[in-house]
Structure 1
Amino acid sequence: MPPQSKQQSAKSPAIPAGMPTITQTHKSTAQAEKKPFQWQFLHPKYWGVWLLLFVFLPMIYLPLGWQFWLGRKLGILIYKVAGSRRRDTLINLKLAFPEKPKAECELMAKQVFVNQGIGVFETLCAWFRPNVFTRTVSISGLQHLVNAQNEKRPVILLGAHYTMLDLGGLLCTQFFAADCMYRPQNNALLDWFIYNGRTRIFGKQISSRDMRSLVSSIKAGHVIWYSPDQDYGLKQGVMAPFFGVPAATITAPRRLAKMGNKKNPPAVMALHTYRQTPDNLPRGKRPHYHLTITPELSNYPSDDEVADATRVNEVLEGLIRIDPTQWMWFHRRFKHGPNGRTGIYK
Structure 2
Amino acid sequence: MSQKPEYQPGQFQWSFLLPQYWGIWIGIVFLMILAILPWAIQHRLGHFLGSVAFNNLKSRRKTTIRNLEVCFPEWTPEQLQTNARQVFIDQMIGIFETLNAWYSPQWFKGRVQIEGLEHLQNAQAEGKGVLLLGTHSTLLDAGGYLCAQYFDPDVVYRPQNNPLLDMLIVRCRATIYANQIDHDDMRGLIRNLKNGHAIWYSPDQDFGLKQGVMAPFFGTPAATVTAHRRLMKISKAAAIPLYFYREGDISNPRYRVLISPALEHFPSEDEVADATRVNQIIESQLRIAPTQYMWFHRRFKTRPQGFDKIY
TM class, shorter-chain normalised?
Answer: over 0.9
Instruction: Using the TM superposition, give the Cα deviation of residue 98 of structure 1 relative to its aligned residue in structure 2, in angstroms.
Output: 1.6
Aligned pairs for 1:62-211 (under 5 A) are 62-211=37-186
1:238: which partner in 2?
A: 213
Task: Please say if residues 148 and 176 of structure 2, whose CA atoms lie closer than 8 Å, have aligned partners that are also in contact.
Answer: yes
**CA separation of 1:341 and 1:71: change in aligned 2, threshold 3 A:** farther
Q: Which of these residues, 273, 286, 289, is aligned with residue 244 of structure 2?
A: 273
The TM-score normalised by the length of structure 1 is 0.84
Instruction: Using the TM superposition, give the Cα deviation of residue 152 of structure 1 relative to its aligned residue in structure 2, in angstroms.
Output: 1.2
**CA separation of 1:195 and 1:208: change in aligned 2, threshold 3 A:** same
Task: For residues 228-269 of structure 1, give each alpha carbon's deviation from its aligned partner in whole angstroms, at most 9, with x where no partner exists.
Answer: 111111111000111111110000121121122xxxx31101
Instruction: Using the TM superposition, give the Cα deviation of residue 44 of structure 1 relative to its aligned residue in structure 2, in angstroms.
Output: 4.9
Determine the C-alpha separation between the residues in 1 that align with 2:266 and 2:238.
Answer: 9
The TM-score normalised by the length of structure 2 is 0.93
Amino acid at match of 2:277: R
Consecutive unaligned residues of structure 2, counting only runs of 5 or more, are: 1-7
SS of match in other structure, 1:314: helix
Determine the C-alpha separation between the residues in 2 that align with 1:340 and 1:155.
Answer: 38
Task: Please say if residues 247 and 333 of structure 1, whose CA atoms lie closer than 8 Å, have aligned partners that are also in contact.
Answer: yes
- Structure with the larger helix share: 2
Task: For residues 175-198 of structure 1, give each alpha carbon's deviation from its aligned partner in whole angstroms, at most 9, with x where no partner exists.
Answer: 111111111122222222211111
Q: What is the number of equivalent residue pairs in this alignment? A: 304
Determine the C-alpha separation between the residues in 1 that align with 2:295 and 2:26.
Answer: 27
Determine the C-alpha separation between the residues in 2 that align with 1:93 and 1:43.
Answer: 43
SS of match in other structure, 2:291: helix
1:337: which partner in 2?
A: 303
SS of match in other structure, 2:244: strand
Determine the C-alpha separation between the residues in 1 that align with 2:76 and 2:43.
Answer: 28
The root-mean-square deviation of aligned C-alpha atoms, in Å, is 1.8
Q: Which of these residues, 221, 244, 248, is aligned with residue 223 of structure 2?
A: 248
1:326 aligns with 2:292: yes
Instruction: Using the TM superposition, give the Cα deviation of residue 338 of structure 1 relative to its aligned residue in structure 2, in angstroms.
Output: 3.1
Determine the C-alpha separation between the residues in 2 that align with 1:38 and 1:226.
Answer: 30
Amino acid at match of 2:130: V
